[in-house]
Structure 1
């Protein structure tokens, strides 16, 4: 017999409101169970889809990696083809860089063999010599205050408060010290750093062959536009014909940091980045006296008798000043192929013109002018017995004024 409690529960459950509530609960429980099963299935499907997406993404990555590898292979193959084409082009037609390498090698062999003075253009490696040569053709140069045969003899006491100390032989401005006295101390104009005469002498000694004596002090030239140090104006000439103009703006003591701008000498137009990787400054102004500078470079180029030579000038408030001659520039000269080929063609054409003039009676090598010039070599300091070198002198009526 059921207990009174159980009987009471059955009776309570049969009450209409309670029965309806229990029926709704059962119905809702059924719905919840169905939705729970559906949610489980959806979660399982979502997991399957996520796995499929992960697989698809992995496939895409693999395809991308294959494509990248294929593209890299294609780029490497194209680079090899371009390099091969470049080698073929440079071998087929002499370029400026190959001819320059030959010229450097020739000077090196002459120097090593003791016959350095035998080649006329070897003489142009000496700054004091070049200044005298330029003066003989009526060009202005910086005033030389004093010259010393050796490093130990250098004394700056009698010099003005501003000057430039240089070595006669050397390259790439290694031994060029623009100096100013400030409060009794020497200061580099280009960097503002304070130095002592002993510092400078130690630096010169450390340079070895890159700073060959004698040594001299000259005027610190002002810039026409007011900068601390004037821009270098370097004209690449091919026996009377300028091939390009390099405007170089100093930046401290490291030459590779100097800003560059290359110009077409015929039009003055910017040639752009003809040397990949160089530091370009397209805002370096074109000198107002560029036509005068180009005329001087043409004249000296013909007077030099060289198929190629670079002439440096400075534009100052007092007019243009000759700087130096560089027969075989040592700084980077790796031009774009088309520019390299163009300069190489100019070089070969110039060589032909030199040979033609020599066949017509032109003296070989440098032809000196008739203007007064100063000779600042201390006694016994002339390199390679320079005093014994033959020197041709001309009024420039024929060999120095021809405009080929």
Structure 2
């Protein structure tokens, strides 16, 4: 049966209307996809109660003898969830690309912070050869860079900053550059042979993080630099040092004794630690620490602005600021070392600036918040490029070579 003339007219009108609606819908969808990318939602913070519950679950598993089974299950679930999320985000990018480059790049900006460098699918960087894809800055992780350096050390690569992990070597390096170094009274001695005298500091010959460091203001006033606990006798000190060895807080029974420097002799405050996160001559972050009456911290930018890093949030202080000579000293040390990063630890004392030590791998570097991790990661990449250019142009690094 043939459609009536009326039916044919109606179909034409409806078809025209549907076509118009489809075009409008397509244009609206295109406008939506071309809008500026929204920021990814912040990672929800777990409550302290939830975190403590999780930790207690792990502790309970240890008591019940199921710790490794629980850990294996957690690791497997994390890997599986990560795989599913990665595939879903990759599919989201593919679907957005059907709407054009603007929509595809918007999706890139939205999802990029959710990936680590090793997780990022190639599709997210595709096109960088011939056009400017959205910035990969969020992948410039300090955590990732340091972990890669540790892996290279594990493989036996020569990493100049690790040559300075030895306290005696680093002090020779600093002294040749022209910095004042601590007066050493005893070095590499066993506990039984140590001169435990007032006005000295006892440190492990090889150690980090303040573990096993004791400040003898007098024989009855001995400060644990790590915990701020005050011991009242050298006998008590020896007992605690033995426990440091037994519990692995100090690896070897080899100790150094140095002169004690003060920040304020009247109050008995020991020298303040100034720890400079330096990237081939340029310091990006500074940590100021006081050890008395209790350990407290303050983070600074090189411009003298206090900054939140996510570390030591429960033990922050206002701090006294950063001195130009401290930044200059870190710059000289960093520029003389052919490495993209090293932390230089200095002492601010009543007798002036004193070099402390070099730290190629700062403790708990994973605890920086994302903003700081990315900023330090970018500083690391920039330092690598400056170092490469200087090496190509014949830089010789005589102070470092004198140590070899």
- Give the TM-score range, shorter chain: 0.5 to 0.7
Cα distance change of structure 1 residues 83 and 325 upon mapping to structure 2, 3 Å threshold: farther
Number of the residue aligned with 1:241: 282
Tell me what 1:206 maps to.
246
Query: Displacement of 1:330 after TM fit?
Result: 1.4
Larger Rg: 1
Corresponding residue to 1:351 among 384, 389, 398: 384
2:399 matched residue in structure 1: 368
Aligned partner of residue 230 in structure 2, secondary structure: coil
Question: Does structure 2 conserve the Cα–Cα contact (< 8 Å) formed by 1:168 and 1:211?
Answer: no
Aligned to 2:230: 192
> In the TM superposition, what are the counterparts of 1:177-188 in structure 2 within 5 Å?
177-182=214-219, 187-188=222-223
1:148-202: per-residue Cα shift (whole Å, max 9, x none)? 34445x321xx642201112212211121112443xx573374321342631541
Pair 77,122 (structure 1): closer, same or farther in 2 beyond 3 Å: closer
SS of match in other structure, 2:200: strand
Q: Given the two structures, how large is their TM-score scaled by the length of structure 1? A: 0.60
User: Secondary structure in 2 aligned to 1:122?
Assistant: helix
2:332 is aligned with 1:291: no
Residue of structure 1 aligned with 2:142, choices 96, 102, 123: 96
Cα deviation for residue 88 of structure 1 reads 2.6
1:230-277 superposed Cα distances (whole Å, 9 cap, x missing partner): 22111110001110111123368xxxx842221110x21112x22166
RMSD: 3.3
| C-alpha spacing 1:277/1:228, structure 2 compared with 1 (3 Å) | closer
Q: How many pairs does the alignment contain?
A: 278
Structure 1, unpaired ranges of 5+ = 1-74, 370-389, 394-404
SS across alignment from 1:125 = coil
Preserved contact between residue 297 and residue 311 of structure 1 (Cα < 8 Å): yes
Determine which structure has greater relative contact order: mean sequence separation of CA pairs < 8 Å that are 6+ residues apart, divided by chain length. 1
CA 168–315 in structure 1, closer or farther in 2 if over 3 Å, else same:
same
SS of 1:135's partner is helix
Contact 2:143 2:365 in 1 (8 A): no
The change in CA–CA distance for 1:277 and 1:166 in structure 2 (over 3 A counts) is closer
The counterpart of 1:320, out of the listed 345, 353, 371, is 353
